[in-house]
Amino acid sequence: MALINDHFLKLPNNYLFADVAKRVNVFKAQHPKSDVISLGIGDVTQPLCPAVIEALHRAADEMASAATFRGYGPEQGYDFLRDAILRGDFLSRGIHLERDEIFVNDGAKSDTGNFQELIRWDNSIAVTDPIYPVYIDSNVMIGRAGTKSDDGRWSNVIYLPCTAENGFVPELPQQRVDVIYLCYPNNPTGTALSRDELRRWVNYALKNDALIFFDAAYEAYIQHDDVPHSIYEIKGARRCAVEFHSYSKTAGFTGVRCGYTVVPKEVTACTLTGERIALNHLWNRRQCTKFNGTSYLSQRAAEAIYTPEGREQVKQTIDYYMQNARHIRETLRSIGMKVYGGEDGPYLWVRTPAGMTSWRFFEQMLYNAHVVCTPGVGFGPSGEGYVRLTAFCSRERTEEALERITNYY
């Protein structure tokens, strides 16, 4: 009789966004003529830019002829894309990485979920709270998170609260931890860390021989100069940090699927006998065994983002979303709401009125304004009392949503 990995059974049955969708569907069934606007799920709405579309057509044409057809690519990604990444995202910021420190993937969700395979099941992990659920859930599945208590906390996870009270800047943990998940600009709060604030974390990791798994999926939205685009802007990060990038939000690739992970060769973890092993080597072995490379078309599409036209076009779309963010922030503040984030990231983190729960405020927005947000508590205990709004809707729908919220509030 085959036995199940029963760590899976510890996971709550519903995934946050499935939960939200169910409640929205109930509302729509009750109000079939209603026009619901979603500022909930963090998916983009604007089309791919012309440079990317052209690259996709060219790649499709290449696949139509035996002379230019491409079969299996390297599991680590094609050199044309890895080199474009090195130049465009790192050298331009004074960061020197090597080509074989870049691993192209099909999006940051896969790699942030899979990377924990490289470390022992009994390492301790710390997460900022609220947090993108994948970091914890992927650790639950391998048995690393322990058991879930009634207050929503996992017994073997150290939570680092990020709330208005500490300006959404997590405090260093009191106890030693082995692995720290950081996502900046942050999902869900839309807030960022300054270079000095991130430096404290790199120094902590170096001093405590800890690893940082740094999710930079939203770096393209950064507007302020003192917010680092990559953790490798901080001295010493090459020795302690792995970084995850995604084109999903950078260039609207949520349906195209492409991103990359940076694993510098100096980043190590230990065997039980104290031998240091390079994670770069292990990750390469993992990818060669369990991954067969990203679609050639998606990689050519990603390459196009780094051309001068591509850069300019992508920037226009990001500016469009960030104008939405500014508009949401200013409008909601003008009617007395407390709004955070949205300055260096595409998310707005909104305080619920006077002690109302996240889910109660979610329902109030849905039933009174026909606007969908995401309840903050779904991202962790410290998300209670907040909801997340996204800047990814079209201008028109965003304005319509704001008008409705203003009218009912």
Q: Which of residues 378-407 bind its own copies (CB under 8 A)?
A: 394
Residue 134 in contact with its own copies, rule: CB under 8 A? yes
Task: Give CA–CA dist 17/223, Å, rounded.
Answer: 28
Binding-residue total with its own copies (CB under 8 A): 84
308-334 and 395-408 helices, crossing angle to 10°: 10
Min CB(69)–its own copies separation in Å:
5
C-alpha pair distances (Å), 119 with each of 212, 238, 288: 13, 18, 17
Task: Give CA–CA dist 348/190, Å, rounded.
Answer: 6
- Restricting to residues 5-64, name those near its own copies by CB under 8 A: 5-6, 8-9, 11, 15, 18, 41, 43-48, 50, 52-53, 56-57, 60-61, 63-64
Please pick, from the candidates 19, 36, 73, 326, the single residue that binds its own copies as defined by CB under 8 A: 73
Please pick, from the candidates 30, 292, 308, 354, the single residue that binds its own copies as defined by CB under 8 A: 292
SS3 call for 373: coil
Sign of CA dihedral 138, 141, 147, 148: positive
Min CB(190)–its own copies separation in Å:
19
The window from 103-111, 157-165, 189-197, 351-359 that contacts its own copies (CB under 8 A) reads 103-111
Task: Give CA–CA dist 151/161, Å, rounded.
Answer: 14
Please pick, from the candidates 19, 83, 197, 209, the single residue that binds its own copies as defined by CB under 8 A: 209
Min CB(68)–its own copies separation in Å:
8
Min CB(275)–its own copies separation in Å:
9
- x/- mask, its own copies, residues 318-357, rule CB under 8 A, reads ----------------------------------------
Min CB(284)–its own copies separation in Å:
10
Residue 255 in contact with its own copies, rule: CB under 8 A? yes
- Report CA Rg, the chain: 21
Alpha helix locations (H) across 125-270?
Answer: 133-141, 195-208, 248-251
Residue 113 in contact with its own copies, rule: CB under 8 A? yes
Angle at CA of residue 402, ends 396 and 407, nearest 5°: 130
Nearer residue to its own copies within complex by CB, 212 or 339: 212
Contacts of 91 (CB under 8 A, 6+ apart): none
The window from 163-171, 205-213, 225-233, 372-380 that contacts its own copies (CB under 8 A) reads 205-213
Nearer residue to its own copies within complex by CB, 43 or 400: 43
Peptide bond into 188 cis (omega under 30): yes
Residue 178 in contact with its own copies, rule: CB under 8 A? yes
Pairing mode of beta strands 347-351, 386-390: antiparallel
